[in-house]
Amino acid sequence: MDAVKPLRALPSNMTDGTRVLARLDGRMVNTPLSGALASLGLESALPVRAFFSWTGKRNYEGRWWSSTVRSHVGFESLLERDFLLSADHDRGVVGVASQPFAFLWPRGTEGSRGHVPDFFVRLRDGTGRVVDVKPAGRVRSAERQFGLTREACAAAGWEYEVFTGLAEPLASNLRWLAGYRQDRFAPDGTAAAVLVDSFNPEASLTGGVRRAAKALGADEGIVRAQALHLLFTGVLVVDLDALLTQNTRVSLGVAPKAGSAWDARSREAAS
């Protein structure tokens, strides 16, 4: 159990430089902003700020089970949840943490003591990305805070993104596929190999599932769920910017999504 509790309010920074606070390895890290932060494992950080709830709160909050990091990640709005599902699907993301750290602005900074970004993600190439989530109509009101955050991220060697939502039909497609991200829908090695063969060359979702179900002697409903799991994890791919239907053309991806159940099974089988 982590002995350091999350902050209920940001402390004042009495120095002339930006500082970073993070709950890592059972302690509160308090370090000056520098390029050395690029290698700090913030994808493993616990939320630095407490999650607040109150009667009548308009935002919906909860915990997203990430098939990438194999654990739950907190969110404080449905828009934040949409970011998490998109990051979970993103083949380039290998780690994600919510409320991962706090920037404490230098003393004398007008109008703001500091800022807690919504997420930190670790990318497959080893780089880090800091993400703030804000509805598109409210970005202008936060421009100054985002500007300070963007400058600080550049100094630390991190990318910076303001996520404003997913366009349709991409959003609906990902929400549907995300329902099959759990391990219980992951095919075993034999079923996965047959499914891959069934969409090589590309075929409609219905056609490939029927071909695989016949080869496996399995129920089409079960095989379809397994195919949708492989679509979410990237083993199979479709154009998610078009409405996903049973007639959508499905082709092969390059490799399973890092961290997925089938990714683990593939590595085990190869060892």
- Whether the CB-CB separation of 250 and 205 falls below 8 Å is answered with yes
pLDDT the model gives residue 265? 52
Residue 32: asked if its preceding bond is cis (omega within 30°), the reply is: no
pLDDT value of residue 112: 87
Rounded CA-CA distance 153/131 in Å is 10
**Residue 271: predicted pLDDT:** 43
Residue 254: closest CA among 200, 176, 213, 215: 200
Q: In what order do the strands lie in the sheet with 203-204?
A: 203-204, 249-252, 236-237
What pLDDT does 1 receive? 44
Contact call for residues 252 and 245 (beta carbons, < 8 A): no
Pairing between β-strand 19-24 and β-strand 93-98 as defined by DSSP bridges: unpaired
Q: What is the pTM of this model?
A: 0.89
Residues 6+ apart with CB under 8 A from 59: 76, 77, 78
pLDDT along the chain (271 residues), means of 10: 78 95 94 95 94 65 93 95 97 96 94 94 97 96 95 98 97 97 95 96 97 97 97 95 96 70 50 43
pLDDT for 196: 95
Q: Write down the CATH number for the domain with range 19-163.
A: 3.40.1350.10
Tell how far CA 226 is from the center of its chain.
21
pLDDT attached to residue 2: 56
Q: In the chain, what are the domain boundaries?
A: 19-163, 170-270
Q: What pLDDT does residue 159 have?
A: 98
